Structure 1
């Protein structure tokens, strides 16, 4: 199998392809393409009739869907699940920071002790979109003895969750929002999940609950969130992703006493490329062996 890596070819990805037993080739001769270093706007430069499979570098594919780049005749795979542990680790950090008010103390200029501290021990954690990241987070939360409520696409039980509901179960979502001390958003960005957490959803959360978004900014209505924080209708929000993104300089969320912002850094580049290389090597091996690929994109579902 001939594989091209581009538009940028990190040495780690080249080594992964070779280690899996495939050949690096020019784009025009490749039957497989490992995409890295640009968005879908450049895909046409590398596309050709002999291309059969494209490995994308991210779990989220909304830009590719919007650009109409996922053409028929090609199997596209995402990096879904590749970065789950890294993002789950960041999520846990955000949860602990909010629970223990570490952000408030880090900003303080005096010895005043902040009010409203929570504990993860024995808390209820709701996970909206309990896929790879959600499952990795559940593993990290085990020492805290939390109760997990989960929502996923299928409604199939998630290991470690007390309850699992399908995404279209309104009663299940209501219960998750009403009972959770921490609501973690980890669902894919699709037309159906746009502004999933809106003013109505925020109003159903506990007054001291924290919203954690490590998915995509589009899943949360930013204006509604700012209003809820200002009115103290929820305990706080910790966001690694925002809408818009990047968040404009001076945006009220940056200095809001109830908000924690990290600049889409749950999966930093220093950790991304090695993890992606492992996925590339595994999928190239699978392709050569005629086995199912990991992360095959469902065009209908949008991820």
Structure 2
């Protein structure tokens, strides 16, 4: 139900001009947290989040797509009267581009080319491939996975999707419920992990799953490092069980100096920067503006968090 007055929105831990403009653009008015706001837009981490929220707060917007830390710390569950929303989907296109980069670099043997110090084209021929005509398994088709599907289609690749329920995902050739995920490993040519980090997804991919993949497969992870058994992955990359991996997240993270993954040429590692600040902040501002507009109109915000599901 639409309020007779503009929604009062607090922004924390500090009020930056871009987010003040987002509040007013969305039809709200900026106020301090101690001035009985209707909602709180948070731009910082869970470490600095207030221990107690004013009773007037009905909605909180969080800046992250993954909210496992907020759940682990009990912050969300401590405020059952509040509707919480994440930034899921806000950064989808940016992260999906990173996934495509990893896949293209893998199938075109870019790591080997970058390491070369002489002109020996024939050395690379056995490892050169294409995404055209390939099938990519996407584990987790929220905003990022859905943004990836048309990017792959533009390159001539088709997608197989995995979701919790198996409800058809637009653009995917077939959608598998998570109970049938084992059917996917021998079917797809490459894999992208974009699933949330929950107790059910921890170590989702281990030695058995890796051994079921094609030896030419590239595995990309932009979700959370603990979705892959790192020791099993190192072993698979060393043995050539799969062709390689593109990792924007690792377990442990940060990946320590001297870790075996650093020395493997078929492991491409980026330091969790698939969504860099220069791109993240404008995308989050846009997401905040849309959700304030929805909140001010009495509509449910985008990306509402289900604490039971973990995302």
Band of TM-score, shorter chain: over 0.9
Q: Secondary structure at the match of 2:132?
A: coil
Cα deviations across residues 234-279 of structure 1 (Å, max 9, x unaligned)?
1000011111111112222123111100111111110111111111
**Structure 1 match to 2:117:** 109
* Structure 2 residue 297 is the aligned partner of structure 1 residue 289: yes
**Structure 1 match to 2:130:** 119
Question: Structure 1 residue 130: deviation in Å?
Answer: 1.6
For 1:152 and 1:275, locate their aligned partners in 2 and report how far apart those are by CA, in whole Å: 25
**Structure 1 match to 2:171:** 160
For 1:267 and 1:240, locate their aligned partners in 2 and report how far apart those are by CA, in whole Å: 10
2:43 to 9, 33, 36: 36
Question: Structure 1 residue 45: deviation in Å?
Answer: 4.7
For 1:108 and 1:62, locate their aligned partners in 2 and report how far apart those are by CA, in whole Å: 41
Q: Secondary structure at the match of 1:178?
A: coil
Question: Structure 1 residue 212: deviation in Å?
Answer: 0.5
For 1:180 and 1:154, locate their aligned partners in 2 and report how far apart those are by CA, in whole Å: 20
Alignment root-mean-square deviation, CA: 1.3
* TM-score between the two structures when normalised by the length of structure 1: 0.95
2:261 to 250, 253, 274: 253
Q: Secondary structure at the match of 2:42?
A: strand
Query: Superposed, which structure 2 residues align to 1:38-117 within 5 Å?
Result: 39-45=45-51, 47-70=53-76, 71-112=79-120, 113-114=123-124, 115-117=126-128
Q: What runs of 5+ residues in structure 1 fail to find an aligned partner?
A: none
For 2:252 and 2:11, locate their aligned partners in 1 and report how far apart those are by CA, in whole Å: 30
**Structure 2 match to 1:4:** 10
Question: Structure 1 residue 46: deviation in Å?
Answer: 6.0
Q: What runs of 5+ residues in structure 2 fail to find an aligned partner?
A: 1-6
**Structure 2 match to 1:228:** 236
Contact 2:149–2:158 under 8 Å retained in 1: no
**Structure 1 match to 2:3:** none
For 1:175 and 1:206, locate their aligned partners in 2 and report how far apart those are by CA, in whole Å: 13
Residue correspondences, number: 299
**Structure 2 match to 1:14:** 20
* TM-score between the two structures when normalised by the length of structure 2: 0.93
